[in-house]
Chains A and B, each alone.
Chain A
Amino acid sequence: MATNEQTAIIELKHIDKHFGSLHVLKDINLTVHKGEVVVIIGPSGSGKSTLCRTINRLETIDSGEIVIDGDILPQEGKKLARLRSEVGMVFQSFNLFAHKTILDNVTIGPREVLGTPKKKAEEEAMALLKRVGVENQAKKVPAQLSGGQQQRVAIARSLAMHPKVMLFDEPTSALDPEMIGEVLDVMTELAREGMTMVIVTHEMNFARRVADRIIFMDEGRILEENEPEAFFSAPGTQRAKDFLNTLKERDR
């Protein structure tokens, strides 16, 4: 799935971050290329979410540099908002806008941020809702949908902005088991179509299937970075071995 063109979409350079005295990100260096699917795994509290959220500055960083498609991520203002609009984000808890219909959830970004006319935004939104399989829910409000449906709408909402890259922070962790598949299917499809993706997940089979690269994090550091087959069959560090073993225990 990796493309030959090696355009960097995300570059993280020497990122450090503290929460108070807690050092959550330690000298993180990571480059994600166009069309690449990078899956971040690691034990709870290792900093995966924080890393993901620094990429569109939902978390600030102490030092280092973040470059999105050649532009340094600014600290504030209109330019930050513009760069954020190019980076889609899908959250564990969906975060659909509770007071808006499903259709409005998908059109509000293009209309408010890109200035897309209502009619065009709605046409595109309906096409996207169809693509994720919830087009017949367009007039409902989020609370009327199942978790799996809500998360698929959230993906459609992100896609409506035509992002250059999409971030997923444990998109299936809040879902009942029978709904996980439908969301992973949508994501697999996206990956197949060449979307650049950074995914934090505990779904190892999915990771193995879609990832071009696995990043293993522990205690705020990237400990390993490898292709899925190599990583899963022969992890290079004891920490990664232990982590994979606990997962196996859990799934048993």
Chain B
Amino acid sequence: MTNSNPFLIHAQDQVVVKNPDEKSWVFEVGKNGNLWVDFLQMTDDLDVLVSLQGEAAKCKINCAYLTNKNNNLNINIKVLHKHKKTTSEQYIRGIVTDESAVSFKGIIEIPKSSQKCDGRQHHRGLILSPKAKIEATPQLEIWADDVICSHGSAVGPLDQNQMFYLQTRGIPENEARKILLSSFLGDLMPDEFSDTIQKWMDENA
């Protein structure tokens, strides 16, 4: 059996990890600390709080969601830049099909005292069926003025012209869809999750 909500912690220097229940994570990153974690959500909610609480602490959160049937997921990721000169990156990509629904909420909070921070959050979602839904609410709470912050969210169906182009080269529809779906996820997820992702693609593309 493949785990349907795997995670992988790549780096945790100066990090205190709390995992009060299966769906919730709190990471406290200390001075010069570094956190890099990947999540793949297929059936369960996810609630992540990263608190960057020492100078120059940094984090990278990669999250992919792949949902089908009538699964309904809430994914909340919050990065709190508690200290100055902290940096964060969040990359979230998801594919929903059937009647599944995902509500994604991503928060970057930079209090007034946390100058020279850099916070990034990018979300992209693909909707494969008319009854599937993605609701994305990126939220920026930036109170400091000397910071770099970028965020973006784009949700839509597969590009019909890309599908057509692949098909005009003789590639059948479901194979074309698989090609576009894997290129959509790109290398966001680690090799450790490949089998799980491949299986999902085979069953849902």
A binds B: no
Interface residues of B (CB under 8 A from A): none
Interface residues of A (CB under 8 A from B): none
